[in-house]
Amino acid sequence: MFCIMDQLDTLVAIAADLASAQSAEARSQSLLGALRRVIPFDAAALLRLDGDALVPLAAHGLSPSALGRRYLLREHPRLDILCKSNEPVRFPPDTALPDPFDGLLAADPAATRRVHACLGCALRVHGQLVGVLTADALEPRAFERIDVRLLTAVGALAAAELLTGQLIAALTRTAERQGQIARDLMRDALLQQGSQLLGVSPELGRLRQEIELVARSDYSVLITGETGVGKELVARAVHSASPRREQPLIYVNCAALPETLAEAELFGHTRGAFTGASAERAGKFEVADGGTLFLDEIGELPLSVQPKLLRALQAGEIQRVGADRPLRVDVRLLAATNRDLAAEVQAGRFRADLYHRLHVYPLAVPPLRARRGDIALLAGYFCDLSRRRLGLGPVRLDAGALAALERYAWPGNVRELEHVVSRVVLRASAGVPRGQAIILQAAALAPDLAGAPDLPSAAPVDGPAAAPGRPRMRDFVRAQQRAYLRTVLEEHHGNLAAAARALGMDRGNLHHLARRLGLGRRES
């Protein structure tokens, strides 16, 4: 039995950590580490309440995929019981209630053993539920001699820390502008499912530090990265951490702006300025006044509009189409592109002065293959997202499936990972009784991972070489893709944008595929 001195030392250590200047994530991990000294758990988790679900903030001893999930209270009776109890709860080892972390313990990588010992407590401040602290063990009698008074004290400290963190986070949320502007033009990132930057890799950690640094300023930010890496999420993170976070973030997709209407969309127009202009209309710069304007796919902006955008950035002035006087606006500009804008400048497709004005503080978003440590967490998140969308039972990835995902090069990045997981879960759900667990294996992923190479350091997914005279499956698929894409490009005279529309593909993804297959491109 743990002595009283161990318990007191643990409480002192937790209090010291919570009073330190560490980040909220570091404090949460320190709390679980200190708790390990007096509670012999195999896994522990600190979860915050988010509506009708619990979301992991920190965990010890759980697989990475467990951190990407949302635990709905109506689906997890043990967590629901903890939330409703005013005292710590120690569940009987033989209880029939399913444990939310069954199959997700790092100590049981084969996912063959059930959690047998479970305890936890609700975290409350002044009667307000803010989260839950849980501990699990594979040994049925692991928690029999634990003093629940210690857990009560730890819970009080953890609840205070959790509530403080929530209050700080609330200050960064974007406020909707009242009236028509908010309803028609704002897309609130914090209300969109899957809008946060997920990951624990050093690469993503460095990006978060850069975001935090530049968010304090009013500099223009150019966000670069391949298609599907999450450039829009980075823009939203910059805005949410900036002094303008209480003002609107207005989104514009430059690739969707027809050249004839791009100027009016950005800067507005007067009545009668052109055919169809039956009333005055504010442009996106006016709508974003006081806030942030995010120009996605800035490389697609017509050359004819670029000088007017430069004037808006340099002088803070815009002029509606058909107007005879300028308007003053106070707008912070964020821009994103998957193009090499320096090369576009050299080719004469983008103004050099505008490029340098946008390039005040560049943020390069790393591709998924450069942050392999995040793949398991993201895959777990997308599995849980698909499970909730399809109304399925638990969905898990076995060790072989996770290894296959981590070996793959992910040319489409996080967006491709989401689509692959969604397809695989949908296929695997066929014929599975409702509510039964679905275990995804490497074989289920093979059809979706055959179109691009593995990461250079990894062993081939397809296994050993094929028999003499027979091509490997991946080589055969690659040859078929090359022949088909060459035919489509010829039909569209080498125009990659037109070919992408004909194939129903994102142009960036088609560009990467054509490059992998050794085919030339022309985008105009």
Mean predicted lDDT score pLDDT of the chain = 80
Query: Among 91-95, 113-117, 223-227, 317-321, which stretch is predicted with the lowest mean pLDDT?
Result: 113-117
**Distance (Å, rounded) from C-alpha 164 to C-alpha 181?**
32
Query: Among 77-86, 146-155, 245-254, 392-401, which stretch is predicted with the lowest mean pLDDT?
Result: 146-155
The pLDDT assigned to 268 comes to: 86
Tokens 């497709």 correspond to: 349
Nearby residues of 217 by Cβ (< 8 Å), 6 or more positions away: 361
Query: Which residue type is seen at 18?
Result: L
Q: Over 60: is that where the pLDDT of 465 sits?
A: no
Q: Where are the domains of the chain?
A: 4-170, 180-366, 371-448, 473-516
- CATH number 3.30.450.40 given to 4-170: yes
Please provide the size of the chain in residues: 524
Options 3.40.50.300, 3.40.50.720, 1.10.3210.10, 3.40.50.150; CATH of 180-366 = 3.40.50.300
pTM across the whole model: 0.68
**Distance (Å, rounded) from C-alpha 462 to C-alpha 310?**
51
CB 220 within 8 Å of CB 313: yes
> Mean pLDDT across the stretch 66-87?
91
> Mean pLDDT across the stretch 327-351?
93
The pLDDT assigned to 281 comes to: 83
Query: Which residue type is seen at 417?
Result: L
> Mean pLDDT across the stretch 275-299?
88
pLDDT tens digits, residue range 185-221?
A: 444 433 344 457 888 899 999 999 999 999 999 999 9
- CATH number 1.10.8.60 given to 371-448: yes
Q: What is the CA radius of gyration of the chain?
A: 27
Q: Over 50: is that where the pLDDT of 2 sits?
A: no
Q: What percentage of the chain exceeds 70 in pLDDT?
A: 80
> What would the two tokens of residue 134 be?
């849980």
Quick count: other Cβ atoms within 10 Å of Cβ 233? Answer: 19
3-state class (DSSP) for residue 441: coil
Tokens 């990835």 correspond to: 397
Classify 469 in phi/psi space as left (phi over 0), alpha (psi -120 to 50) or beta: left
The pLDDT assigned to 148 comes to: 73
Class for domain 473-516, per CATH? mainly alpha
